[in-house]
């Protein structure tokens, strides 16, 4: 049975309430961009050095920054050091001068509508726990910004079955629908939230208190 849906926190509340977490991990600053479309982003905020931001903007580094280019072409998470896009213009080398030595990027959405979080440190790589904390927070943040009700009732019914350890086929039988219909509902939910696996989309619904 689908749980009673809790009110999804607003984007402003999620962002403000999570600043301590974000800045404790990204000790040299963060960059967040929500729903970047052809006309520009819906929201953008950065706590990186003002001198770096000025240099970045003046030189249009976003056209050559390997971390930003990766985020536009992919969904998921990557440490900066794991990105294999060539830095032909030395953007990352210049960033190091401002203490942006280690970092990670988190990306969600479609090619026509992307949301991105990037954080930086000057002392070490982000560990796996920190990566997970930020990935989970970013999932919730994007959901709060884009959806009052992030899943349809039909999608939640299938997700609840999976949360109860059913397979997709067992969920379809339980709901008296075809397996292809169950898979279609899951694909729609995954695509909307920019995730690739059923495990991740079930976790997203659980965190939002939409299933139990």
12 pLDDT band, cuts 50/70/90, is low
Query: What confidence tens digit (pLDDT) does each residue in 132-142 have?
Result: 999 988 988 88
Per-residue CA distances from 2 to 31, 68, 81, 178, 207 (Å):
36, 38, 41, 20, 13
pLDDT of residue 7 exceeding 50: no
Q: Are 76 and 55 in contact (CB under 8 A)?
A: no
- At 106-125, the pLDDT tens digits run 999 988 889 999 999 999 99
Residue-range domains of the chain with CATH: 11-146 (3.30.450.80), 153-207 (1.10.10.10)
For residue 13, what pLDDT is reported? 65
Q: What is the pLDDT of residues 42-65, one digit of tens each?
A: 788 899 999 999 999 999 999 999
Q: What are phi and psi of 174, to 5 degrees?
A: -60, -35
Which one is predicted more confidently, 192 or 127? 127
Which among 170, 175, 172, 163 has a CA at the least distance from the CA of 199? 163
């Amino acid at each position: 049975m689908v749980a009673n849906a809790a009110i999804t926190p607003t984007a402003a509340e999620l962002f403000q309430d999570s600043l301590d977490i974000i800045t404790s991990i990204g000790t040299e600053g963060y960059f967040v961009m929500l729903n970047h479309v052809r006309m520009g982003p819906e929201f953008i905020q950065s706590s990186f050095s003002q001198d770096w931001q000025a240099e970045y903007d003046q030189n249009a580094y976003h056209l050559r920054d390997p971390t930003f280019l990766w985020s536009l072409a992919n969904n998921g998470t990557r440490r900066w050091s794991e990105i294999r896009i060539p830095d032909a213009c030395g953007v990352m080398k210049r960033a190091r001068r401002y203490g942006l030595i280690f970092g990670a990027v988190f990306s969600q959405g479609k090619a026509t509508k992307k949301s991105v979080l990037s954080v930086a440190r000057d002392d070490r790589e982000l560990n796996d726990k920190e990566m997970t904390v930020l990935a989970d927070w970013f999932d919730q943040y994007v959901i709060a910004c884009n959806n009052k009700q992030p899943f349809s009732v039909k999608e939640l019914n299938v997700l609840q079955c999976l949360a109860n350890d059913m397979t997709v086929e067992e969920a379809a039988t339980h709901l008296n629908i075809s397996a292809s219909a169950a898979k279609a509902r899951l694909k729609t939910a995954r695509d909307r939230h920019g995730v690739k696996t059923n495990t991740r989309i079930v976790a997203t619904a659980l965190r939002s208190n939409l299933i139990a």
